[in-house]
């Protein structure tokens, strides 16, 4: 329980706004509003359920903060590659094939299930629920580095950094992608809005900027290696590093496909290249056909620690399946 006394400056202020100013950063305004609506906030011993209730000087305000409820998903003993962990957050290297959050068709066996089991009581609650705070996601078949919050303060702080996309903070994200062909420039920027595909509503597509669902999307890329390069500056495939200025669903996959260079193994956005493997020499042909996911790996993540302000930076090399694919393309060169 917390107890506060209003002063002269409190007069005329809304209850939720005043409590938010008093209790930040421990509780978010949404959390405070939920506590008020739930009858956990009293003034002079009387529960007040109106968030807009106006205050005056000399009131005794008490807040009952219940223990975090158990998360709806159940914890599962799933192995995690943990790069860093403390009381505020956990950084993991997610393998391809692991879904981040429970949803249609994937109610168990997800990263969230694994984190609930691993973190246990160190999860102090996100919005009153003892669950991990997912601030960004990777597609099921994308591997690489993710950070997850363990409490409300970390969740809000990290979410703000990701929403800013590194424009005014130290957030940095870099991905490795193997694409068919090669961009005509070594470095470049793809600035193309994304929205729902008319052909398949489960997919994204580059859309006209004036369309109602168009969302600003910018990807910066740099060609790191070209495989089987020719004198006319074309190539069989390329290793590309992509850095996000925005974080839209399937952004890198859609943007690279839009340029005519879809990711190797991406059957959603590069299905027209599926037969390209049939023309490859062995053993590259078998390796490419056996690579059953998009060739995308989140190799770098840097951000400011929500409590200490320290800049944390993590890197993870390409996993074995992608490393073998890179090696096969190099040998084809």
- What does pTM read for this prediction? 0.78
CB-based contacts of 177, cutoff 8 Å, min separation 6? 239, 240, 241, 242, 252, 256, 263, 295, 296, 297
Locate all alpha helices (DSSP H) within 132-258, ordered by sequence. 152-164, 251-258
Is residue 299 within 8 Å of residue 265, measured between CB atoms? no
d(CA 144, CA 146): 7
- Residues designated as active site: 139
R_g (Cα) of the chain, nearest Å:
24
Full pLDDT tens readout for the chain, 333 residues: 788 899 988 889 999 888 888 887 667 787 788 888 888 899 998 889 898 999 999 999 999 877 665 556 788 999 999 999 999 999 999 999 999 988 766 778 999 999 999 998 888 767 666 678 899 999 999 999 999 999 988 999 999 999 888 788 889 999 999 999 999 999 999 999 999 888 887 789 999 998 988 999 999 999 999 999 988 888 999 999 999 999 899 999 999 999 999 999 999 999 888 888 888 999 999 999 999 999 999 999 999 999 999 999 999 999 999 999 999 999 986
Nearest Cα neighbor of 196 from 218, 212, 219, 210 is 212
Is residue 88 within 8 Å of residue 97, measured between CB atoms? no
Is residue 88 within 8 Å of residue 26, measured between CB atoms? no
290: three-class secondary structure by DSSP = helix
The CA distances from residue 32 to 69, 203, 329, in Å, are 16, 37, 55
């Amino acid at each position: 329980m917390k107890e506060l006394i209003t002063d002269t400056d409190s007069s005329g202020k809304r209850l939720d706004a005043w409590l938010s100013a008093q209790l930040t950063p421990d509780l978010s305004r949404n959390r405070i509003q939920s506590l008020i609506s739930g009858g956990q906030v009293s003034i002079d011993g009387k529960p007040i359920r109106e968030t807009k209730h106006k205050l005056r000087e000399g009131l005794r305000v008490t807040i009952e903060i219940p223990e975090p409820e158990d998360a709806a998903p159940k914890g599962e003993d799933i192995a995690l590659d943990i790069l860093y962990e403390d009381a505020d957050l956990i950084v993991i290297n997610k393998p391809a094939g692991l879904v981040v959050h429970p949803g249609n068709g994937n109610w168990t066996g997800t990263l969230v299930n694994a984190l609930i089991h691993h973190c246990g009581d160190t999860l102090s609650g996100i919005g009153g629920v003892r669950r991990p705070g997912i601030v960004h996601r990777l597609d099921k078949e994308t591997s690489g580095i993710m950070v997850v919050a363990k409490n409300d303060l970390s969740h809000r702080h990290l979410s703000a950094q990701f929403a800013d996309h590194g424009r005014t903070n130290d957030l940095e994200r870099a991905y490795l992608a193997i694409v068919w062909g090669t961009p005509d420039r070594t470095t470049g920027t793809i600035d193309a809005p994304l929205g729902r595909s008319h052909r398949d509503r489960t997919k994204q597509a580059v859309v006209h900027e004036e369309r109602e669902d168009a969302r600003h999307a910018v990807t910066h890329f740099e060609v790191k290696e070209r495989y089987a390069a020719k004198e006319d500056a074309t190539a069989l495939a390329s290793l590309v590093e992509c850095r996000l200025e925005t974080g839209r669903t399937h952004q890198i996959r859609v943007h690279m496909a839009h340029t005519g260079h879809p990711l190797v193994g991406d059957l959603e956005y590069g299905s027209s290249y599926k037969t390209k493997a049939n023309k490859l020499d062995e053993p590259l042909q078998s390796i490419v056909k056996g690579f059953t996911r998009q060739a995308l790996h989140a190799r770098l993540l840097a951000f400011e620690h929500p409590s200490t302000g320290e800049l944390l930076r993590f890197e993870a090399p390409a996993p074995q399946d992608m490393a073998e694919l890179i090696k096969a393309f190099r040998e084809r060169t």
